[in-house]
Structure 1
């Protein structure tokens, strides 16, 4: 972290993949019980936080097209305002490369990054546990990005256990489709009774994505994309989609697959990481 509190902070807000996702039940409040393995990636949106002297404003600029009040970045900063101890305002710039509705956790990651960096710049003094709890108000995936490690998750995603995953290479493809998470979780065809598994089983590469069958049914273009990807390796949907991914042992293999998929889809290659780059900025 820069010595001067007035220095801008630039950081990558990382994407995630769900290496597997089992839905084991539905609670009375409508939320789903699940088990999933979160893999962080060394690829994501760029965020720049610039303190502004003599103001309490939070100014947000971004290329998402969202109204400010609907943007999780602005909402995350506002959650911290009552805890603010520093007199500076903030200018936050978000440069998105992660597709919205892609299952990569972009909005949740942006919100978590905001909580972590603004907590520091505003000298709020909140612990990681407290920030993760605040993050739950913004979305189920926000806490994993706040804690900043690849993780095994249970409950509604709030019961997190940090794990060390092989830092494999992934090719990720997107069919230029926005998938509504709410629509998938509300679908009658969604599997909601998977038997509970274990971390050990998930780490061994077993498991599936229970959302995939429903997404395939509702979005034929995503089904076609996954079928195309399967010709290059075992492809899976991440989250509720729309992105699919394939894991490779080397960057060269991933780049080769990406070149083939790029004829028809937006693609990127990224390496799995076990610690968020945001954590490194906060600890510096």
Structure 2
């Protein structure tokens, strides 16, 4: 899918949930070995990307609290430009809906959308494998968004095996605090030695048996997250995603999600979304 100079590509950058997250060890480099199940949501950010002929890459608007050199969209665009030796540039406008530091993968998804979108816009034609390699240089969660399928993740989350998960409705709640991922992974009380399991065992157990090993630590460090988890768990099965701060509840129907949202109104920021096994970005790009 190639945009014309007058018509930008309009590309989704979907949120993700960690339907389960186990920490099975700590590596010598300080990173943690994980086992997790990634699933996309039909809710997220949107990138509007227009080709430039002069090689400049411009992003609007600036993100509050994020320096330009740390912005994953700009870093992704410049990395692809350098690796492909492409002389084209781009104007990128980011519609930001996902909270920063929410555990929904917003920045990683934005970066993946920039990589795939600019690969198409500039006619670079890199494989998904190569784009995923570039994505991993930007962050551990970027490859799953590049590959675009619900997945079992191992390592730091970059070793991916496609899976098919149930696709219920979710209500996702933001407790109104920012969670520091380094603080969570650096906490002494964090569970780090959950026994490894196989994909088959994880899927056989089903959602009722899934958990997030970060949840107890985040509860202790961030009481507002604990408040949301306690309240939400009385209404539906609820869990932390990633290292938080967002918490999600699994619902049987959209009507149930709407009723829960009505209860939440005025307490916290929240949205409803459907679980997806295929990223809507890949549908738009025809990948």
The reply to whether TM is greater than 0.5 is yes
Q: Which residue of 2 aligns with 1:76?
A: 76
Q: Which residue of 2 aligns with 1:145?
A: 145
For these two proteins, the number of residue pairs brought into alignment is 283
Post-superposition offset of 1:82: 2.1
SS at match of 2:75: helix
> Is the aligned partner of 1:160 residue 2:183?
no
Q: Which residue of 2 aligns with 1:61?
A: 60
- RMSD (Å) for aligned C-alpha atoms: 1.5
- Runs (4 or more) in structure 1 with deviation over 6 Å come to none
Structure 1 CA distance for aligned equivalents of residues 218 and 88 of structure 2: 45
Q: Which residue of 2 aligns with 1:35?
A: 35
Report the CA distance shift for 1:214/1:110 in structure 2 as closer, same or farther (over 3 A): same
Pick one of 192, 206, 215 that aligns with 1:212: 215
Structure 1 CA distance for aligned equivalents of residues 162 and 24 of structure 2: 21
Conserved 8 A contact 1:12-1:278: yes
Conserved 8 A contact 2:3-2:9: no
Conserved 8 A contact 1:86-1:121: no
Structure 1 CA distance for aligned equivalents of residues 265 and 133 of structure 2: 39
Post-superposition offset of 1:2: 4.3
Q: Which residue of 1 aligns with 2:256?
A: 253
Structure 1 CA distance for aligned equivalents of residues 37 and 62 of structure 2: 30
Structure 2 CA distance for aligned equivalents of residues 61 and 202 of structure 1: 41
SS at match of 1:196: coil
TM-score (norm 2): 0.94
Post-superposition offset of 1:202: 2.5
Instruction: Report which stretch shifted further, 274-283 or 135-144.
Output: 274-283
The answer for unaligned runs of 5 or more in structure 1 is none
- Once the two structures are superposed, the pairs formed by residues 211-250 of structure 1 within 5 Å of their partners are 211-250=214-253
Deviations 1:158-203, CA, capped at 9 Å, x for gaps = 1101111122100000011111111111111110000112223322
Report the CA distance shift for 1:207/1:3 in structure 2 as closer, same or farther (over 3 A): closer
Q: Which residue of 2 aligns with 1:199?
A: 199
Post-superposition offset of 1:5: 6.4
Structure 1 CA distance for aligned equivalents of residues 286 and 25 of structure 2: 38
Post-superposition offset of 1:87: 4.3
Conserved 8 A contact 1:55-1:88: yes
TM-score (norm 1): 0.95
Pick one of 277, 280, 283 that aligns with 1:280: 283
Post-superposition offset of 1:88: 3.1
Post-superposition offset of 1:120: 1.5
Conserved 8 A contact 1:119-1:126: yes
> Is the aligned partner of 1:266 residue 2:269?
yes
Q: Which residue of 2 aligns with 1:96?
A: 96
Q: Which residue of 2 aligns with 1:130?
A: 130
Post-superposition offset of 1:19: 0.6
The answer for unaligned runs of 5 or more in structure 2 is none
Structure 1 CA distance for aligned equivalents of residues 5 and 153 of structure 2: 35
